[in-house]
A and B are shown apart, each in its own frame.
Chain A
Amino acid sequence: MKIAVCVKQVPDTWAEKKLDAGTKTLDRESVDGVMNELDEYAVEEALQIAEANSGEVVVVSMGPEKATETVRKALSMGADSAIHVQDAGLAGSDALGTSLALAKALEGKGFDLIIFGSESTDARMSVIPAMVAERLGVAQLTFANNVEVAGSEVKIKRQTEYGYDEVTGSTPAVVSVVEKINEPRYPSFKGIMAAKKKPVETVALADLGVDAGQVGLGGSWSAVVEFADAPPRAAGTVVTDEGDGGVKIADYLSTQKFI
């Protein structure tokens, strides 16, 4: 079984993120990059499925050279090899451009499963897995909090507002996983050393047959017109409980017409 796991380097979850005044896109240079937290669950799921089905795991990532750190992390967790989609022309791509480049990098490689985290912690659109499934014309099995693979049959529990839906499909399939589906492993020292020798293929737009006009900031079909810091919230009232804290909140809620 051949499994692709797509990972994205994002600004550290705890860092303050900024938009660049010129391009009006996320300033990725001024903050530390980390593997998108939700992608760690995707890597773990890919490794577990590969271990149970004598499969191989290929890391696929689109991003600038700096994203190599995230690719290496996935390799040090145990993935076998990587494809790094890297091209200056991709900077500023919208979700359509990103999904196009990823789909081109993934197609024709014989992947049975393509696993994503359910969203990135920077853009938080949560649309790339669905877009890639649409582009590749394969089963979309997304927002999984459980994945079972039996031969070519894949069954997931799709997390919903009310519980979950059981959704099935056949390989090849796109899967996205939610937080807490598993417990991502930490890279071992041995894993970190081994990762340095694992093959990473770097591919550019021309290798993918993607026209530069279809991606990047210029090829985006939506654009930021303007942005500004949100106005700070007006300072509120803070009191210390003197045995009547609950009553005081109720008074406040009454004045605001909540009760």
Chain B
Amino acid sequence: MAEILVLVDHVDGAVKKVTLELLTLARSLGEPSAVFVGNGADAAIATLAENGAATVYVADAADLLLHPVAPKAEVLAKLVADKAPAAVLIPSTAEGKEVAGRLAVKIGSGVITDAVGIDADLTSTQSIFGGSVIVKSKVSQGTPIITVRPNSSPVEPVAAAGTRVDVSVELTDSAKKATTTNKVEESKGARPELTEAAIVVSGGRGVGGAEGFTVVEALADSLGGAVGASRAATDAGWYPHQYQVGQTGKTVSPQLYIANGISGAIQHRAGMQTSKTIIVVNKDPEAPIFEIADYGVVGDLFSVVPQLTEEVGKRKG
């Protein structure tokens, strides 16, 4: 069966969910091999094997970690040359897309980003213009490189060998020209990452101020979700900019999206309207976001949302 390379997204060996989604997706295309770059391979291999990785290529030389983006592209380029896989799948994160871009130039292959599905013949489905148009695209040159959005595929564990194969690469000079000198964490508590979260709870203009976001955060925490914000809220400085969902911010596609006090301008809808289930709380019955709601409540979010948070707590016991 054709080999499909899947680049592993992880933090020191803790494998992110999107990787397991890609391994599941890769099984419908051929035989998945995981490509692990960085520290913590031993812990990761167990998880990858449980999720269908027949082979785990490991590149863990110290110099690979010193430089952003380029080393991952060089490891993948070497594997493409040595193994001639049928395709390379990469999580569609900011870094993943950059790795895909450099790899495409390096190996002379076409690249498709932000796929939400891939057919057996490697035709990719993309949801563009904020989810209003569905496009099917195909790479016509080289080894198809496809980045896939988080939450595009279920995770279906299946045991596989997970055979470790070490890979060493001699980094090019140009890959060493940027150096990571420090990693600074300023994430908020234990919440999941916005783009990967299965549940996202967002606040907009109707939240009224930075302190109003405590209501939104409390609901997110009761559901184990991430917090997002509309551009109106981030522009006003009520919530940090990196949590902005929308055309100029993050694109999310969670199982559940709860929009609180967000009117639903195209700017915002473009970043969230492919969410599977959308709940809306807004006091303006004319707000356009109600058009895409599966369930909406016209009312004051400061009474509806705390009540919902309490209810969730009760029902979860």
Find out whether the CB atom of A259 lies under 8 angstroms from the CB atom of B182. Answer: no
**B299 and A245 contacting across the interface, CB-CB below 8 Å:** yes
Q: Which chain B residues lie closer than 8 Å to A238 at the CB level?
A: 280, 285, 290, 293, 295-298
Contact segment of A1-9, A67-75, A163-171, A185-193? A163-171
Report the bound CA distance from A16 to B104 in whole Å. 30
Evaluate whether A249 and B308 lie within 8 angstroms (CB atoms) in the complex, with A168-B181, A240-B299 already known: yes
The docked-state distance in angstroms from the alpha carbon of A254 to that of B256 is 12
A222 in the interface (beta carbon within 8 A): yes
How far is B185's CA from A155's CA once the two chains are assembled, in angstroms? 18
B112 interface hit (Cβ, 8 Å): yes
- The answer, among B101, B173, B234, B247, for a CB contact under 8 Å with A131, is B101
Docked pose: A143 CA to B223 CA in angstroms: 31
Instruction: Please name all residues of chain B whose beta carbon is closer than 8 Å to the beta carbon of A165 when the two chains form the complex.
Output: 68, 180, 182-184
B208 interfacial contact with A, CB 8 Å = no
Is there a chain A Cβ closer than 8 Å to B80's Cβ?
Answer: no
Q: Known contacts A128-B101, A159-B242; decide if A239 and B193 are in contact (CB<8 Å).
A: no
Instruction: Report B171 CB to chain A, min CB distance, Å.
Output: 13
Name the distance in Å between B2's Cβ and chain A's nearest Cβ.
19
Say whether A142 faces chain B, with CB atoms less than 8 Å apart: yes
**Cβ-based interface call for A57 (8 A):** no
Selected interface stretch from A45-53, A203-211, A226-234 = A226-234
Which B residues from 176 to 200 make CB contacts under 8 A with A? 177-187, 193-195, 199
Return B105 CB to nearest CB of chain A, in Å.
Answer: 5
Interface-central residue, A126, A158, A234, by most chain B CB under 10 Å: A126
* A246-B182 contact, Cβ under 8 Å, with A96-B111, A126-B113, A241-B297: no
* B199→A258 contact, CB < 8 A: yes
For chain B, which range describes its interface: under 10, 10 to 19, 20 to 34, or 35 or more residues?
35 or more
B105 touches A134 (CB 8 A): yes
- Complex: A243 Cα to B303 Cα, angstroms: 8
Q: Mark B150-185, 1 if CB is under 8 A from A, else 0.
A: 000000000000000000000011100111111111
A44: chain B residues at CB < 8 Å are none
Which of B68, B93, B113, B142 is within 8 Å of A158, CB to CB? Answer: B68
Judging by beta carbons under 8 Å apart, are A169 and B185 in contact? no
Please pick, from A124, A162, A220, A250, the residue contacting B308 in the complex, using a CB distance under 8 A: A250
- B131 adjacent to chain A (CB < 8 Å): yes
Residues in B whose Cβ lies below 8 Å from that of A138? 174, 177
A250 close to B315 (CB less than 8 A): yes
A225 engages B137 (CB within 8 Å): yes
Tell me if A246 and B310 are in contact (CB < 8 A).
yes
Shortest B93–chain A CB gap in Å is 7
B311 interface contact, C-beta 8 A: yes
Query: Are the C-beta atoms of B179 and A169 separated by less than 8 Å?
Result: yes
Interface string of B296-317 (1 = CB under 8 A from A): 1111100111111111100110
Assess whether A54 is interfacial by the CB under 8 Å rule: no
> How many angstroms between the C-alpha atoms of A181 and B152 in the bound complex?
31
Q: Does B134 contact A (CB under 8 A)?
A: yes
Q: Which of A18, A130, A256 contacts B101 (CB 8 A)?
A: A130
A residues within 8 Å of B by Cβ? 13-14, 16-19, 37-38, 94-96, 99, 118, 121, 124-131, 133-135, 137-143, 145, 155, 157-170, 173, 178-180, 220-230, 233-234, 236-241, 243-250, 252-254, 256, 258-259
Instruction: Please give 12 more A-B residue pairs, beta carbons under 8 A apart, in addition to A14-B266, A138-B174, A247-B307.
Output: A14-B265, A131-B101, A140-B98, A140-B102, A165-B68, A178-B241, A180-B234, A222-B110, A228-B133, A230-B132, A233-B278, A246-B310
